[in-house]
Amino acid sequence: PQPIYLADYTPPAYLIDGVELEFHLHPTATRVVSKIRFTPNPKAVSRDFFLHGEGLTLIRAAIDGTDITPDLVEGGLKADVPDAPFLWEAEVEISPETNTALEGLYMSNGMYCTQCEAEGFRRITYYPDRPDVMAPFKVRIEGREPVMLSNGNPIASGEGWAEWDDPWPKPAYLFALVAGDLVARDDSFTTMSGKDVGLKLWVRPGDEGKTAFGMQALKDSMKWDEEVYGREYDLDIFQIVAVSDFNMGAMENKGLNIFNTSAVLASPETSTDANFERIEAIIAHEYFHNWTGNRITCRDWFQLSLKEGLTVFRDQQFSGDMRSKAVCRINDVSALRGRQFREDNGPLAHQVQPDSFVEINNFYTATIYEKGAELIRMLRVLVGDDAYDKALDLYFTRHDGEAATIEDWVKVFEDSTRRDLTQFRRWYKQAGTPRVAVSEDWADGTYTMTFKQSTPPTPGQDEKLPQHIPLAVGLLGPNGDEVLPTQILEMTEAEQSFTFEGLAAKPVPSILRHFSAPVILERDSTAQERAFLLAHDTDPFNKWEAGRTLAKDVLVALITGEDAPLEDYLSAITVMLRDDSLDPAFRALTLGLPSQDDLAQTLFDAGLTPDPMKIYRAQQTLKQAMAEHLQDLLPRLMADMDVTEPFQPNAEQAGKRALGLGLLNLLNRLDGGAAAQALYDRADNMTLRLGALGDLLQAQKGDAALADFRAQFETDELVMDKWFAMQVTHSAPEDTAQIVAKLTEDSAFNWKNPNRFRAVFGAFIMNPAGFHNASGEGYKLFADWLIKLDPVNPQIAARMSSGFETWRRYDADRQGMMKTQIERVLATEGLSRDSQEMLGRILN
């Protein structure tokens, strides 16, 4: 497959004044009639008329009313057209029912729905399927479905038909159609200028009871975007539809967001606190896209982070405002390190604004999303909050209605702040995670910190230039008082020193507060100093970070057989846990240990070969030591975390449950599962039930609970996903592959459903000790399933293949076994472009 290059961008040859679509729905023979008014683009460099089209059967085509026979070519069609505005008409036939890739128009549980981003619209009709062609759409749907929806405002409907009108010009990737037997939760929102907007959350009959939380999250998001960004909604109606078969979380189609059921349906009995939090964030994210993505869209897919990075940043801000800022920041950074750092330090590393791609669906990555969001966060830190707000106002006025670029975005900041951001732009163009090493010097009341930055080579990019890094730094005195509040040090050189004068004693520095830049900080420190920061740092992120690095020091020492600062860690953690002034959610996070994947990368970076079993055992050893050390404290602390009020999915209650479960996980190592069983038996919400089930599985006492869980929730797809995932996550490493194999034979393993496939195989590749079991059977099993899934759903197969992305970290045996499997998948005949690109990059 040939790559597409950013450098080859040219403006579209024709623009569109208006689109009319007519759908005649049929499961295997849907007819789509299109009328498109084209006009030559004055900025075009060519007059060639090309329309994208894939898997379409062309029935008829006409230009200005005269039938024509277009030239059907690879990926679309060509035709001779007038050198003036003209009307294109076409009729095509498509088969939604057999569309298992879930891209274009497809069926899920008997209901029609669409997914057009990035390039799915070309599977619906012939069209210039590129985001810089924006047009208003009118849609008529004919069919037997009781509910038939599309973008924009409802115009008219009757028995067997419905018409919709979206006045806002949009690229085709934002098109949506839904038709089926659906029921709505209705509500309304009055915008800041007093307009009434109808809100509808559509679900399958039976799921009405799981819509209240999503609707509230939507209203909160609408209010927040008005208050914080001054953005008002712009149609008479906003709709969300929940769909069971969906490749990702959700999609921001104009006025008609389509959601994976897992990203919108919620109830205390079936959803965990983490589910509620994620749902709130995704609803906000998709809603925020209405301005950052839809009103201002991307010129081409190389600019994907323009909308995704910004919208993630906005949803992170929103979650921080709705919940606890500190806890949200810690969670966001953990996710960034877990997914984006892993990507940036392996064969799939790529720029936030890539130069080329083969399959764009492979670039909906943590780098585009989460690193993109970090770049915006840094910009905000560098220019200041007020200047950020001004820049955003300028962005919205200058680019509303346009398909913009990342250059446009940075230029807005330059123009509104008069800062030169030339060096900052490198963040978009240089892949890889910068390492920042710190050394310090103390003499005569002067404290000097010297920072050195370097970024390791990434595929296709050997040389890296110094980046513009905002380092948020504070200093603490020996008694724990802050002697210097947070300052932003701007690092622009490869090596740079900063001095602080007039200090009475050598300070303890708190560096990279609130994780002010997405870098790896390298700083040798003593266990005492880490414990000191855990006890005294005023920055909650760095307070947590101190605990995390101390835990990491202990674990690495346990793995490598060096002296571990175990006692320092245990006493520091005890002090932290006892501190009632600390938010339970914060304490729960600080009690958690760095992940096995994080430790593997750390060891690899240190020039060692990570052994997944040793890492796993070190974690178990440390947890056992923690349990024993905290033994006397556990019952009282756990009792303190009991929530007696009725279940609320808010941050306060969730924090107590999280800490309670964190402590139970330790107690579980001492009481052989007794407390977990008791909790399982009395739990009246999914958070506690699932937490208890995990502990029971861990203690190898889960059989009865698993059977009970299944009996209770057999008909609930989303809860059954948890039932599958839990068994993989909490398996003993030597059993994991067999358990996965057994689950794939279960009658409920509906593998064509992305949620179900991910429940099993996502959990598998996220369980390093199990996946990397020395026998290699895990690798083979995983490859078998990639081969099986690829022809059915290439997007999910390609995405999951990142399970192999860390193969070069491991010993020669494991490397050899993984390489064999990667090559076997690559050699599969007819392998999708998606998987070819991913596995090809992973291998090289």
At residue 177, what is the residue type?
L
Q: Which stretch binds ligand B3K (CB under 6 A): 183-191, 282-290, 445-453, 679-687?
A: 282-290
252 near ligand B3K (CB under 6 A): yes
Q: Which residue in 103, 117, 280, 286 is the catalytic one?
A: 286
Enter the tokens of residue 294.
């839809």
**What's the closest the beta carbon of residue 5 comes to ligand B3K, in angstroms?**
20
361 near ligand B3K (CB under 6 A): yes
DSSP-derived secondary structure for 495-520: EEEEEE---SSPPEEEESGGG-SS-E
Choosing among Zn ion, ligand B3K, none, which partner's interface includes residue 251 (Cβ < 5 to 8 Å by kind)? ligand B3K
**What's the closest the beta carbon of residue 117 comes to ligand B3K, in angstroms?**
4
The answer to whether 487 and 474 are in contact (CB under 8 A) is: yes
834 near ligand B3K (CB under 6 A): no
Q: Residue 312 or residue 333: which is nearer to ligand B3K going by CB?
A: 312
Q: Residue 145 or residue 308: which is nearer to Zn ion going by CB?
A: 308
Choosing among ligand B3K, Zn ion, none, which partner's interface includes residue 81 (Cβ < 5 to 8 Å by kind)? none
Cα distances (Å, whole numbers) of residue 318 to 310, 311, 313, 325: 12, 10, 9, 9
Q: Which stretch binds ligand B3K (CB under 6 A): 235-243, 246-254, 406-414, 648-656?
A: 246-254
Annotate 655-682 with b (16+ C-beta within 10 A) or e (fewer).
Answer: bbbbbbbbbbbbbbbebebebbbebbee
3-state SS class at 806: coil
Q: Residue 369 or residue 515: which is nearer to ligand B3K going by CB?
A: 369
**For 605-611, which contacts have Cβ atoms below 8 Å and span 24 or more sequence positions?**
605/345, 605/520, 606/556, 608/560, 609/809, 609/810, 609/811, 610/809, 610/810, 611/559, 611/811
Pairwise CA distance, residues 291 & 307, whole Å = 9
Pairwise CA distance, residues 297 & 75, whole Å = 24
Choosing among Zn ion, ligand B3K, none, which partner's interface includes residue 248 (Cβ < 5 to 8 Å by kind)? ligand B3K
**What's the closest the beta carbon of residue 96 comes to ligand B3K, in angstroms?**
18
251 near ligand B3K (CB under 6 A): yes
Could you tell me how far CA 343 lies from the centroid of its own chain? 13
When CB distances to ligand B3K are compared, the closest residue is 117
**What's the closest the beta carbon of residue 712 comes to ligand B3K, in angstroms?**
32
Choosing among ligand B3K, Zn ion, none, which partner's interface includes residue 361 (Cβ < 5 to 8 Å by kind)? ligand B3K
Site map for ligand B3K, 17-36, x if CB under 6 A? Answer: --------------------
Residues 6 or more apart from 691 whose CB is under 8 A from it? 657, 661, 664, 665, 679
Q: Residue 116 or residue 630: which is nearer to ligand B3K going by CB?
A: 116
The answer to whether 253 and 116 are in contact (CB under 8 A) is: yes
Number of H helices, E strands in the chain: 30, 31
Pairwise CA distance, residues 250 & 260, whole Å = 6
User: Of residues 112-141, which lie at the interface with ligand B3K (CB under 6 A)?
Assistant: 117-118
Enter the tokens of residue 267.
């109830």
Q: To which H or E segment does residue 765 belong?
A: helix 763-765
440 is catalytic: no
Residues 6 or more apart from 296 whose CB is under 8 A from it? 307, 395, 396, 399, 400, 401, 402, 404
User: Of residues 280-309, which lie at the interface with Zn ion (CB under 5 A)?
Assistant: 308
Site map for Zn ion, 310-329, x if CB under 5 A? Answer: -x------------------
Q: Residue 289 or residue 339: which is nearer to ligand B3K going by CB?
A: 289
- Count of residues that interact with ligand B3K, criterion CB under 6 A: 12
Among 286, 315, 332, 568, binds ligand B3K (CB under 6 A): 286
**What's the closest the beta carbon of residue 251 comes to ligand B3K, in angstroms?**
5
Q: To which H or E segment does residue 257 belong?
A: strand 256-260
At residue 721, what is the residue type?
D
User: Of residues 436-455, which lie at the interface with ligand B3K (CB under 6 A)?
Assistant: none
* Beta strands 177-180 and 196-203, pairing class: unpaired
Choosing among Zn ion, ligand B3K, none, which partner's interface includes residue 118 (Cβ < 5 to 8 Å by kind)? ligand B3K
Q: Residue 202 or residue 246: which is nearer to ligand B3K going by CB?
A: 246
Q: Residue 252 or residue 837: which is nearer to ligand B3K going by CB?
A: 252
Site map for ligand B3K, 308-337, x if CB under 6 A? Answer: x-----------------------------
Pairwise CA distance, residues 53 & 836, whole Å = 22
* Beta strands 356-357 and 256-260, pairing class: unpaired
Q: Which stretch binds ligand B3K (CB under 6 A): 127-135, 250-258, 382-390, 736-744?
A: 250-258
**What's the closest the beta carbon of residue 134 comes to ligand B3K, in angstroms?**
16
**What's the closest the beta carbon of residue 369 comes to ligand B3K, in angstroms?**
7
**What's the closest the beta carbon of residue 252 comes to ligand B3K, in angstroms?**
5
Q: Residue 122 or residue 464: which is nearer to ligand B3K going by CB?
A: 122
The answer to whether 13 and 49 are in contact (CB under 8 A) is: yes
Among 122, 140, 285, 587, binds ligand B3K (CB under 6 A): 285
User: Of residues 743-782, which lie at the interface with ligand B3K (CB under 6 A)?
Assistant: none
Among 32, 63, 179, 248, binds ligand B3K (CB under 6 A): 248
Q: Which of 459, 458, 380, 475 is nearest to 419 (CA)?
A: 380
H helices of 464-583, in order, are: 527-536, 540-560, 566-578
**What's the closest the beta carbon of residue 283 comes to ligand B3K, in angstroms?**
11
User: Of residues 806-825, which lie at the interface with Zn ion (CB under 5 A)?
Assistant: none
Q: Residue 289 or residue 669: which is nearer to ligand B3K going by CB?
A: 289
Peptide bond into 101 cis (omega under 30): no
**What's the closest the beta carbon of residue 791 comes to ligand B3K, in angstroms?**
18
Q: Residue 311 or residue 755: which is nearer to Zn ion going by CB?
A: 311
Choosing among Zn ion, ligand B3K, none, which partner's interface includes residue 514 (Cβ < 5 to 8 Å by kind)? none
Choosing among Zn ion, ligand B3K, none, which partner's interface includes residue 364 (Cβ < 5 to 8 Å by kind)? ligand B3K
Angle between helices 703-713 and 717-729 (to 10 degrees): 160
Supply angle C-alpha 205, 212, 187, rounded to 5: 90
280 near ligand B3K (CB under 6 A): no
**What's the closest the beta carbon of residue 64 comes to ligand B3K, in angstroms?**
35
* Beta strands 30-40 and 86-94, pairing class: antiparallel
At residue 335, what is the residue type?
A
**What's the closest the beta carbon of residue 199 comes to Zn ion, in angstroms?**
20
Strand locations in 41-103, DSSP E?
49-52, 57-63, 66-67, 71-73, 76-79, 86-94
Q: Residue 176 or residue 251: which is nearer to ligand B3K going by CB?
A: 251
Q: Residue 112 or residue 173: which is nearer to ligand B3K going by CB?
A: 173
Pairwise CA distance, residues 133 & 46, whole Å = 15
Residues 6 or more apart from 679 whose CB is under 8 A from it? 664, 688, 691, 692
Strand locations in 95-176, DSSP E?
104-108, 111-115, 135-142, 147-150, 153-158, 161-170
CA quadruple 719, 725, 731, 734: dihedral sign: positive
Site map for ligand B3K, 290-309, x if CB under 6 A? Answer: ------------------x-
Q: Which stretch binds ligand B3K (CB under 6 A): 281-289, 437-445, 455-463, 504-512?
A: 281-289
* Beta strands 297-298 and 403-404, pairing class: parallel
Binding site for Zn ion (CB under 5 A): 308, 311
List active site positions.
286
Binding site for ligand B3K (CB under 6 A): 117-118, 248, 250-252, 285-286, 289, 308, 361, 364
